[in-house]
Amino acid sequence: MIAVVDYGSQFAHLIARRIRSLGVYAEIFQNTTKAAELKNRKVEGIILSGGPRSVYENNAPTIDKGILNLGVPVLGVCYGHQLLAHVLGGKVVPSSKEYGKEILVTAGKTRLLQSLGKKEQVWMSHGDSVVTLPQGFIVAGKTQGCKIASYANDARRIYGLQFHPEVQHTVHGMKMLENFLNICGCRRNYTIKGIDRKLVAEIKAKVGDGAVIMGVSGGVDSLVASALIKKATPNIYCVFVDHGIIRKGEAEYVKKLYEKLGFRHYYYADASQIFYKRLKGVTDPEEKRRIIGRTFIEVFEAKVKELKAKHGNIKFLGQGTIYPDRIESAKASKAAAVIKTHHNVGGLPEKMKLKLVEPLKDLYKDEVRELGMMIGLPREALMRHPFPGPGLAVRIVGEITAERIGIVQEADLIFTEELRKSGQYDKVWQAFAALLPVKAVGVMGDSRSYGYIIALRAVTSVDGMTADWAKIPNDVLERAASRIVKNVRGVTRVLYDITQKPPATIEYE
């Protein structure tokens, strides 16, 4: 097992996912973890993640120095790179910022960078630099703006990378991680094959004769989680809360899907007017998310009370929470900077006295899809693009109104239809239409018009933690844009977003 020690990086889980994809189990640990715990867990290697702090700040996250005496290889990434140098006697100082793609020139022989080229494209994100190395270390690579972009001590098996090998923009980052696993001597035996039986058995043991209530959305995570729970017990009550900010036709689609899969207890709660009322005039993205989260809980809680009165054995709450749900909510580490509140993390009020059932909590999205295939769920449902919990609220920049919701629903449907017709839908990770809070002049017929701008976004990704903009053929984009402007009242212009993640997020808010 590889321990990924999290210093607040938004990519800590991405490191773990990359390690798992190489056939080695990886787990996230808090940066306050002691050497004794890692020793007890029999870790074979340790990776220190990046983070938003500076190592020389007061109360900056540090490391139990005993970890460096465990005799297992250690790799520091970004903040981890700086931290290792700092605690081992090197020097870290503020420097000119490097952000984005850079060229690493390898220098000095080290096992970590073996089989790589003299020049490698890497991805940087830092404002501090290591300027003096600890005794016994060599410079393994540099960039134009960073003279110590990588260092190594092969004898002690301690390494540092100022850049991020885990993101797609570092072209041969996986090779670097593979080299580190070879240094650790890890066996490549991690797989989720057969995990469905294990998870069903665990749910049975926990739930017993009790019933489970679960909020479902039609998304992959809640679908697979509810299907697993259904295999463990027939006593599952699925509730679809319609907050009114969903895809066009979504409520009907989800109802038919769950009926087709044989769920006996499926309930629909139309709460759209409550959500619209509370969101009126709200423009701050975080406030929108908080309102939606709180209101969802209220509506769901009312449904739980109603069903508990009817079926008294409801004792458990099922959730489709997956491992990366903790990333952008800063749940993996107290050192993380919150980017946005996540809709899956939190839970219901304690007064409901429901015990959580989260069968997917240790899996990543691609693993969840693989698990869904194992248990026979329809591929079309498993390969649907991710849809955010707050729905179109995070795709309408600014105030949410009935008019704007209608515009985004229609534009999104048209874009999806064109992607499906052209065979592009299954080639991208996620695609959608967003509405920008500005208007632009257009010409409709012979008349001047003034309407909204729609931004189309399509990205390619493995797990949604990093993403590149999808190279959709121009004719497909042209057809989508023409149909949107022609058929969606109030839109005069359509743009295509070509920003990567990072620096952008996939969603708009």
19 is a domain residue: yes
Domain count, the chain: 3
Q: What pLDDT is stored for residue 447 in this prediction? A: 59
- At residue 101's C-alpha, the angle toward residues 99 and 104, to 5°, is 105
Phi and psi torsions of 27, nearest 5°: -140, 150
Under the banding of pLDDT at 50, 70 and 90, the label for residue 330 is very low
Q: Does residue 166 have an active-site annotation?
A: yes
Q: What is the CATH number of the domain that holds 155?
A: 3.40.50.880
Q: What pLDDT is stored for residue 311 in this prediction? A: 82
Q: Are residues 243 and 360 in the same domain?
A: yes
For every residue of 353-389, DSSP letters joined together read --EEE-TTTT--HHHHHHHHHHTT--HHHHTSPP--T
What is the rounded average pLDDT of the residues 174-190? 97
Q: What pLDDT is stored for residue 439 in this prediction? A: 82
Phi and psi torsions of 122, nearest 5°: -130, 170
What is the rounded average pLDDT of the residues 375-384? 95
Residue 489 pLDDT more than 80?
Answer: yes
Range of the domain at 240: 195-382
What is the rounded average pLDDT of the residues 29-50? 96
423 is a domain residue: yes
Do 362 and 225 contact (CB within 8 A), yes or no? no
Q: Are residues 177 and 237 in the same domain?
A: no
Q: From CA 92, how far away is CA 160, in angstroms rounded?
A: 13
pLDDT-wise least confident of 79-93, 337-351, 419-433, 434-448? 337-351
What is the rounded average pLDDT of the residues 46-71? 95
Helix 220-232 to helix 195-207 angle (10° resolution) is 60
506 is a domain residue: no
Neighbours of 78 (CB within 10 A): 26
Under the banding of pLDDT at 50, 70 and 90, the label for residue 342 is very low
Q: What pLDDT is stored for residue 108 in this prediction? A: 76
Bridge partners (DSSP) listed for residue 454: 435, 494
Q: What pLDDT is stored for residue 178 in this prediction? A: 98
Cis-peptide, bond into residue 386, ω within 30° of zero: no
> Average pLDDT of the chain?
91
What is the rounded average pLDDT of the residues 166-184? 95
Q: Are residues 10 and 156 in the same domain?
A: yes
455 is a domain residue: yes
What is each CA distance from 271 to 86, 262, 297, 508, in whole angstroms? 54, 25, 11, 24
What is the rounded average pLDDT of the residues 334-357? 57
What is the rounded average pLDDT of the residues 183-197? 95
Q: Are residues 239 and 368 in the same domain?
A: yes
Residue 348 pLDDT more than 50?
Answer: yes
Q: Does residue 164 have an active-site annotation?
A: yes
Q: What pLDDT is stored for residue 100 in this prediction? A: 84
Q: What pLDDT is stored for residue 444 in this prediction? A: 59
Kindly state the DSSP code that residue 337 receives in the 8-state scheme: P
What is the rounded average pLDDT of the residues 456-472? 88
Residue 406 pLDDT more than 70?
Answer: yes
Q: Which of 136, 153, 184 is the C-terminal boundary of a domain?
A: 184
What is each CA distance from 470 to 18, 190, 353, 384, 477, in whole angstroms? 21, 31, 45, 16, 11
Residue-wise pLDDT for 210-266, tens only, equals 999 999 998 999 999 999 999 999 999 999 999 999 999 999 999 999 999 999 999
Helix (H) or strand (E) holding 291: helix 285-310
Residue-wise pLDDT for 89-113, tens only, equals 999 999 988 888 899 999 878 999 9
507 is a domain residue: no
User: 323: helix, coil or strand?
Assistant: helix
Q: Is residue 395 exposed (0-12), middle (13-18) or buried (19+ Cβ within 10 Å)?
A: buried
3-state SS track over 175-193:
HHHHHHHHHHCCCCCCCCC
Instruction: Choose the catalytic residue: 13, 44, 78, 370.
Output: 78
Q: Are residues 163 and 207 in the same domain?
A: no
Kindly state the DSSP code that residue 467 receives in the 8-state scheme: B
Q: Are residues 69 and 28 in the same domain?
A: yes
Q: From CA 44, how far away is CA 38, in angstroms rounded?
A: 9
Do 160 and 50 contact (CB within 8 A), yes or no? no
Q: From CA 22, how far away is CA 439, in angstroms rounded?
A: 48
Q: Are residues 179 and 199 in the same domain?
A: no
Q: What pLDDT is stored for residue 331 in this prediction? A: 44
Kindly state the DSSP code that residue 249 receives in the 8-state scheme: T
Q: What pLDDT is stored for residue 99 in this prediction? A: 85
Residue 378 pLDDT more than 60?
Answer: yes
Q: Which of 184, 205, 222 is the C-terminal boundary of a domain?
A: 184
Instruction: Choose the catalytic residue: 13, 81, 126, 164.
Output: 164
366 is a domain residue: yes
The residue type at 79: Y
Q: Which of 382, 407, 427 is the C-terminal boundary of a domain?
A: 382
What is the rounded average pLDDT of the residues 413-422? 97
Q: Are residues 206 and 240 in the same domain?
A: yes
Q: What is the CATH number of the domain that holds 211?
A: 3.40.50.620
Q: Are residues 344 and 237 in the same domain?
A: yes
Residue 341 pLDDT more than 60?
Answer: no
503 is a domain residue: no
* Sequence-ordered alpha helix ranges (H) in 238-284: 250-260, 272-279
Distance of CA 461 to the CA centre of its chain: 11
Q: Are residues 377 and 410 in the same domain?
A: no
Instruction: Choose the catalytic residue: 120, 166, 370, 418.
Output: 166
Q: What is the CATH number of the domain that holds 476?
A: 3.30.300.10
Kindly state the DSSP code that residue 508 receives in the 8-state scheme: -
Q: Are residues 221 and 358 in the same domain?
A: yes
E strands, 388-488, in order: 430-444, 447-460, 468-469
Q: What pLDDT is stored for residue 328 in this prediction? A: 42
Do 480 and 415 contact (CB within 8 A), yes or no? yes
What is the rounded average pLDDT of the residues 173-177? 97
What is the rounded average pLDDT of the residues 5-10? 90
Under the banding of pLDDT at 50, 70 and 90, the label for residue 313 is confident
Under the banding of pLDDT at 50, 70 and 90, the label for residue 338 is very low
Q: What pLDDT is stored for residue 448 in this prediction? A: 60
pTM: 0.81
Q: Are residues 168 and 237 in the same domain?
A: no
508 is a domain residue: no
